[in-house]
């Protein structure tokens, strides 16, 4: 029973009760629901002593602070404190004015950016050259970071890549503080795709290919490979211009930041900001002990009730259907999983709802389709395409030619169906998923070597046939689409198909954002039919916040650190 939690959230959920899922014993809903703390009286002494420091708990911190390569929560938070983007995505995921004022030509082809006075730590202004440097890096062949501009069809990019031009005609420096990006055709996703940081040329080096070597494929490839490696490995934190400057960083432990006195939006209200690594499963204790002021948690009903039963009264809880998406991904080109019938057999045969109920209960949902918030209502109408059905799973394996012999083992053309599966040991779902995959394989007559590895091992084991993947889905459908299909560097699996490609090409031609979203909806429905990955859950976010912290926004498209400069520490309940 969550009676105390229900009472704390009741006022917040009543006005959106019609839109909320019908969970009888859970307060979760489709938008942010605050369980606001009622008192500051019992704030732990450890947090009281921090009069000008905010500590945010993170599950990891590898030290990659370059925003184009950071791919874990801790590193992303650090990068957001150190760097800003030209286009700012607000708490609703809508693109707006960021570090630059953006204007669009009447034909929708040219985006012009006029930079605001953002400064590096040595007080040098961020320049148009620094921004253009980012654009050239992202469009390099072989770039494997977290952004992709190929959907934009930038003017002159093809000629630059094939070596017939030394520069990209669509990237133009207009002055020291202004530049433009010109496309071959309008694209409604351009503002979101151009939400990029600036990489200082004086620190990272130029990403523009040297003139004269474009026609030499070997020399060009060597340049791309070398520059990507050098920029990835550079100490990005030395060239930040964001809300905070870095004081120290200890990978695996903590990172400490100090307010940027010359921050272009406004000097941060809090002098020191710290990221502290808290192991998964210890988030609630870290909050109650005062070790952290803010922390995102894996949903655990017993722990949530503990927060409210403790009588502390100083913890505010925020919950919303987030963009944390868990799924099973297959290695690209793996002949075992090339047949969609095999992938569907796994989708039917895994007890996916049981996995959720055991681990996350009502704080996650099984995605009926890989859709965004605006499409969620469709899932209720269409239902689950792959409900648990062990017989259907076995029949699909038969249809795919994997026939069970007298010993129960399935073979095809004399070979057994034998594969490896790995999951990060830090993922709380790992043990349950491994158990269920082993159970399915025992039933179907498949051989699996299933094991847990560290997160760093998971990212460097291309030989694994299948793995448990969890990632955050970007608010922009155009960016999210690149995670699962096409030639984008964001697509880890390498999956592509003619059906999906048709939708992606169609979307790139659509200039109306609403219609473009509908096209992407069709693309994701096509993906769900083809199943290049097997969805397991879409998780609700749970954020614990010490009530002394005010002036922050939370949503599925807006990290807690995105506007850290606004946060204040109050000493009396009710202060603004």
Residue whose structure tokens are 């895994």: 350
Half-sphere exposure of 157 (CA within 13 A, CB side): 20
Instruction: Look at strands 403-404 and 364-365 and give their pairing.
Output: unpaired
Which tokens is 419 given?
Answer: 């594969």
**Cβ(67)–Cβ(78) below 8 Å:** no
Supply φ then ψ for residue 459, to 5 degrees. Answer: -80, -5
Give the Cα separation of 398 and 8 in Å (integer).
Answer: 53
CA distance 553 to 559: 8
Residue found by looking up tokens 């689409």 in the block: 481
Query: Which tokens is 372 given?
Result: 């965004």
Buried b / exposed e along 225-237 (16+ C-beta atoms within 10 A): eebbeebbebebb
Which tens digit of pLDDT belongs to each residue from 153-210?
999 999 999 999 999 999 999 999 999 999 999 988 899 899 999 999 999 999 999 9
Q: At the fourth CATH level, which superfamily is domain 84-234?
A: Dipeptide-binding Protein; Domain 1 (3.90.76.10)
The CATH code of domain 323-539 reads 3.10.105.10
Helix H or strand E encompassing 308: helix 301-309
Tell me the sheet residues that pair with 324: 472, 539
Query: What is the C-alpha separation between 559 and 125, in angstroms, rounded?
Result: 26
Answer for the pair 326, 469: CB distance below 8 angstroms, yes or no: yes
Q: Are 410 and 404 in contact (CB under 8 A)?
A: yes
Distance CA 373, CA 475 (A): 9
CATH superfamily of the 3-60+243-314+547-569 domain: Periplasmic binding protein-like II (3.40.190.10)
Closest CA relative to residue 295, chosen from 55, 12, 63, 29: 55
Distance CA 287, CA 294 (A): 7
Distance of CA 556 to the CA centre of its chain: 10
* Model confidence pLDDT, tens digit, residues 236-254: 999 999 999 999 999 999 9
Tens place of pLDDT per residue across the chain (576 aa): 333 333 233 222 222 222 222 222 323 333 455 566 667 778 889 999 999 999 999 999 999 999 999 988 899 999 999 999 999 876 666 777 899 999 999 999 999 999 999 999 889 999 999 999 999 999 999 998 888 888 889 999 999 999 999 999 999 999 999 999 999 999 888 998 999 999 999 999 999 999 989 889 999 999 999 999 999 999 999 999 999 999 999 999 999 999 999 999 999 999 999 999 998 888 888 998 999 999 988 766 666 666 655 545 788 888 777 777 888 988 877 899 999 999 999 999 999 988 887 776 666 777 765 554 444 444 444 557 888 999 999 999 999 999 999 999 999 999 999 999 999 887 888 999 999 999 999 999 999 999 998 877 776 666 789 999 887 777 677 777 777 777 777 787 778 888 888 888 888 888 887 888 788 888 888 888 888 889 888 777 788 899 899 888 776 667 889 899 999 998 764 443
Report the b/e string of 112-147 with b at 16+ CB within 10 A: bbebbebebeeeeebbbbbbbbbbbbbbbeebebbb
The pLDDT, as a whole number, for residue 35 is 64
Residue-range domain boundaries for the chain: 3-60+243-314+547-569, 84-234, 323-539
């Amino acid at each position: 029973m969550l009676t105390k939690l229900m009472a704390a959230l009741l006022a917040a959920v009543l006005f959106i009760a019609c839109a909320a899922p019908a969970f009888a014993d859970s307060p979760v809903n489709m938008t942010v629901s605050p369980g606001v703390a009622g008192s500051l009286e019992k704030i732990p002494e450890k947090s009281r002593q921090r009069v000008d420091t905010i500590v945010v708990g993170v599950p990891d911190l590898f030290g990659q602070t370059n925003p184009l390569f950071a791919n874990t929560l801790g590193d992303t938070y650090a990068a957001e404190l150190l760097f800003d983007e030209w286009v700012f995505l607000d708490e609703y995921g809508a693109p707006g004015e960021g570090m630059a004022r953006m204007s669009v030509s009447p034909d929708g082809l040219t985006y012009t950016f006029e930079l605001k006075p953002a400064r590096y730590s040595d007080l040098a202004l961020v320049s148009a050259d620094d921004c253009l440097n980012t654009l050239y890096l992202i469009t390099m062949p072989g770039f494997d970071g977290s952004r992709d501009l190929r959907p934009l069809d930038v003017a002159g990019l093809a000629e630059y890549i094939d070596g017939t031009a030394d520069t990209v005609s669509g990237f133009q420096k207009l002055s020291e503080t202004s530049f433009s990006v010109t496309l071959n055709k309008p694209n409604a996703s351009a503002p979101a795709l151009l939400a990029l940081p600036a990489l200082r040329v004086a620190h990272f080096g130029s990403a523009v290919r040297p003139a004269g070597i474009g026609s030499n494929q070997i020399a060009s490839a060597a340049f791309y490979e070398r520059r990507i490696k050098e920029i990835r490995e550079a100490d990005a934190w030395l060239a930040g211009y964001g809300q905070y400057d870095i004081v120290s960083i200890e990978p695996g432990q903590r990172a400490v930041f100090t307010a940027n006195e010359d921050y272009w939006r406004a000097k941060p209200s809090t002098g020191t900001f710290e990221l502290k690594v808290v192991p998964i499963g210890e988030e609630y204790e870290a909050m109650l002990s005062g070790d952290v002021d803010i922390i995102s948690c894996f949903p655990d009903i017993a722990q949530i009730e503990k927060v409210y039963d403790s009588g502390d009264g100083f913890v505010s809880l925020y919950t919303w259907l987030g963009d944390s998406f868990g799924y099973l991904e297959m290695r690209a080109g793996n002949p075992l999983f090339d047949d969609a019938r095999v992938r569907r057999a796994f989708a039917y045969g895994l007890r996916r709802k049981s996995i959720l109920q055991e681990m996350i209960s009502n704080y996650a949902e099984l995605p009926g389709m890989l859709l965004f918030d605006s499409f969620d209502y469709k899932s209720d109408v269409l239902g689950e395409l792959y409900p648990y059905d062990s017989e259907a799973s076995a029949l699909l394996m038969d249809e795919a030619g994997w026939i069970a012999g007298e010993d129960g083992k399935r073979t095809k053309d004399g070979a057994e169906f034998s594969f490896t599966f790995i999951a990060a040991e830090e993922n709380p779902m790992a043990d349950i998923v491994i158990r269920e995959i082993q159970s399915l394989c025992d039933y179907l007559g498949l051989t699996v070597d299933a094991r847990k590895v560290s997160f760093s091992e998971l990212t460097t084991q291309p030989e694994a046939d299948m793995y448990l993947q969890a990632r955050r889905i970007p608010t922009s459908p155009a960016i999210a689409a690149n995670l699962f299909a096409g030639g984008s560097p964001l697509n880890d699996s390498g999956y592509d198909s003619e059906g999906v490609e048709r939708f992606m090409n169609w979307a790139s031609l659509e200039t109306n954002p609403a219609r473009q979203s509908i096209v992407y909806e069709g693309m994701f429905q096509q993906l769900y039919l083809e199943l290049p990955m097997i969805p397991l859950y879409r998780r609700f976010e749970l954020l614990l916040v010490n009530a002394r912290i005010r002036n922050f926004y939370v949503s599925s498209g807006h990290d807690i650190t995105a506007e850290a400069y606004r946060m204040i520490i109050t000493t009396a309940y009710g202060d603004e």
